[in-house]
């Protein structure tokens, strides 16, 4: 299947086929992460603008690394250094960046809908790297890829999500993606973080239930997604760290309620000893470091698809870079895709 994606703003509007296509496109880029030489020339001469209007470490580094491994250059705008602090509007800032002629804009912003708004005003592709509490599509994709690799499927799984669901764009993107594959969701956290509206966020027919006892929420889970307690927020009413740990922390004893091979995911940054114990974070069921490695593969695939368009039928974007067993005979026709 060949797809043309103009932007990647959210996973909600994408079909199961489109999502599968994006996951499949990430596979060859996963292989590149295992090579001693990781740099390709696929996007040589292209520029990716990274505009992070909200602080970010791993997502910004991951997109920057993905761009550089494809041979692209990056332009970086960071919130603290930006002219937004001097009163410039979001639109003026992105038009200024656009005038420097990047080929793609990756942006993060604290307001839900910001990436969508910017995409309506720019000709170049826009990738949403997290907008407020709305979506974080590349995180949803990398989580699904990690699950598919470990369990062999993303279909019909029991997915338990723990923590501050109300403010989590990661939870929303996961529900929008995995919900299209028949997964059932159990949401668990302090009542004020798991409001009743959340039961309706999936597509019609997606099963989402709220459970307030963590032991019950973990029963029979195939996947446990642990969210960070967003300590930078002023929670009202507040909950003390001790209460959170007592009530909702994922520890080994609680994890035993889930299926024996259940996966533990966390988008990071992780607060050990708060939402998750070190033994679970470092245990055999934890996927946190695979998530980080897969993040680069997913972001390479997204940048490649949005900047170059889908590969021609039969052609492989990585041609020369892949070991011969993974090449098809027609792959070698475009030398611009060869590794440096
Ligand atoms: C998440 C985010 O920023 O939405 N982190 C990330 O992208 N790796 C989750 C979080 O900050 O808690």
What are 54-73's pLDDT values in tens digits?
A: 988 899 999 999 999 999 99
The CA 339 to ligand 1 mean position distance, Å, reads: 32
What are 66-106's pLDDT values in tens digits?
A: 999 999 999 999 876 666 777 788 999 999 999 999 999 99
Average pLDDT for 29-41: 93
Q: What is the 3-state secondary structure (H, E, C) of 11-55?
A: CCCCCHHHHHHHHHHHHHHHHHHCCCCCCECCCCCCEEEEEECCC
Same fold, 16-133+295-325 and 137-289: yes
Q: Spell out which residues line ligand 1, taking CB within 6 angstroms.
A: 58-59, 130, 136, 139, 169-170, 228, 230, 267-268
Q: What is the pLDDT of residue 339?
A: 35
User: Does residue 340 surpass a pLDDT of 70?
Assistant: no
Q: What is the pTM of this model?
A: 0.91
Q: What is the pLDDT of residue 314?
A: 54
User: Does residue 327 surpass a pLDDT of 50?
Assistant: no
Mean pLDDT for the chain?
A: 90
- Tell me whether residue 86 is one of the annotated catalytic residues: yes
Number of residues assigned to the chain: 340
Within the chain, strands assigned E span: 47-52, 73-78, 104-109, 126-131, 158-162, 184-188, 208-210, 223-226, 263-265
169 CA: nearest ligand 1 atom: 4
What are 136-172's pLDDT values in tens digits?
A: 999 999 999 999 999 999 999 999 999 999 999 999 9
* Positive or negative torsion for Cα 144, 148, 150, 151: positive
Cis ω for the linkage preceding 2 (within 30 of 0): no
What phi and psi values does residue 158 have, to the nearest 5 degrees?
A: -95, 115
Q: What is the pLDDT of residue 284?
A: 98
228 CA: nearest ligand 1 atom: 12
**Please, are residues 118 and 139 in contact by the beta-carbon 8 Å criterion?**
no
- Tell me whether residue 108 is one of the annotated catalytic residues: yes
**Please, are residues 292 and 58 in contact by the beta-carbon 8 Å criterion?**
yes
Q: Which residue has the tokens 């890829």?
A: 145
Within 218-325, strands assigned E span: 223-226, 263-265
Exposed, middle or buried, 11 (CB in 10 Å: 0-12/13-18/19+)? buried
Q: 299-327 burial string, b = 16+ CB within 10 Å, else e? A: bbbbbbbbbbebbeeeebbbbbbbeeeee
56 CA: nearest ligand 1 atom: 3
Q: What is the pLDDT of residue 203?
A: 85
**CATH number given to 137-289:** 3.40.50.1370
Q: What is the pLDDT of residue 3?
A: 59
Q: Which residue has the tokens 């021609």?
A: 312
**Please, are residues 179 and 158 in contact by the beta-carbon 8 Å criterion?**
no
Instruction: Return d(Cα 204, Cα 58) in angstroms, integer.
Output: 33
Instruction: Return d(Cα 123, Cα 76) in angstroms, integer.
Output: 19
The DSSP secondary-structure symbol of 8 reads B
What are 267-320's pLDDT values in tens digits?
A: 999 999 999 999 999 999 999 999 999 999 999 999 999 999 776 655 555 655
The CA 267 to ligand 1 mean position distance, Å, reads: 6
Instruction: Return d(Cα 53, Cα 80) in angstroms, integer.
Output: 8
Q: Where are the domains of the chain?
A: 16-133+295-325, 137-289
User: Does residue 131 surpass a pLDDT of 90?
Assistant: yes
Architecture of domain 16-133+295-325: 3-Layer(aba) Sandwich (3.40)
Of 334, 312, 308, 302, give the one whose Cα is nearest residue 321: 334
Q: What is the pLDDT of residue 241?
A: 83
Q: Name the active-site residue from 34, 86, 200, 325.
A: 86
Q: What is the pLDDT of residue 50?
A: 97
Higher pLDDT among residues 232 and 70, named by residue: 70
């Amino acid at each position: 299947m060949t797809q043309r994606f103009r932007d990647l703003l959210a996973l909600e509007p994408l079909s199961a086929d489109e999502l599968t296509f994006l996951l499949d496109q990430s596979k060859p880029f996963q292989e590149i992460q295992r090579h001693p030489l990781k740099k390709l020339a696929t996007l040589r001469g292209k520029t990716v603008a990274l505009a992070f209007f909200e602080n970010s470490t791993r997502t910004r580094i991951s997109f920057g690394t993905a761009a550089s491994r494809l041979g692209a250059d990056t332009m970086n705008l960071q919130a603290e250094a930006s002219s937004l602090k001097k009163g410039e509007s979001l639109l003026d800032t992105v038009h200024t960046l656009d005038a420097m002629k990047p080929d793609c804009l990756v942006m993060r912003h604290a307001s839900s809908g910001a990436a969508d708004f910017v995409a309506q005003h720019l000709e170049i592709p826009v990738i949403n790297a997290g907008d407020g509490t709305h979506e974080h599509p590349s995180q949803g994709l990398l989580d699904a890829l990690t699950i598919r690799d470990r369990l062999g499927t993303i279909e019909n799984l029991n997915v338990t999500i723990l923590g501050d669901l109300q403010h989590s764009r990661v939870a929303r993107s996961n529900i929008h993606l995995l919900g299209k594959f028949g997964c059932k969701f159990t949401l668990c956290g302090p009542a004020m973080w798991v409001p009743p509206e959340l039961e309706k966020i999936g597509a019609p027919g997606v099963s989402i239930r709220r459970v307030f006892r963590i032991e019950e929420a973990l029963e029979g889970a195939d996947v446990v997604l642990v969210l960070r307690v967003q300590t930078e927020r002023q929670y009202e009413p507040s909950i003390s760290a001790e209460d959170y740990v007592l009530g909702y922390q994922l520890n080994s004893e609680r994890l035993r309620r889930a299926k024996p091979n259940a996966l533990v995911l966390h988008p990071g940054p992780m607060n050990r000893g708060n939402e998750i114990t070190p033994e679970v974070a470092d245990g055999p069921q934890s996927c946190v470091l695979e998530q980080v490695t897969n993040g680069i593969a997913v972001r390479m695939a997204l940048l490649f698809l949005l900047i170059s368009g889908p590969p021609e039928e039969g052609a492989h974007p990585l041609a020369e870079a892949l070991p011969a067993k993974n090449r098809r005979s027609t792959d070698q026709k475009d030398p611009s895709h060869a590794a440096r």
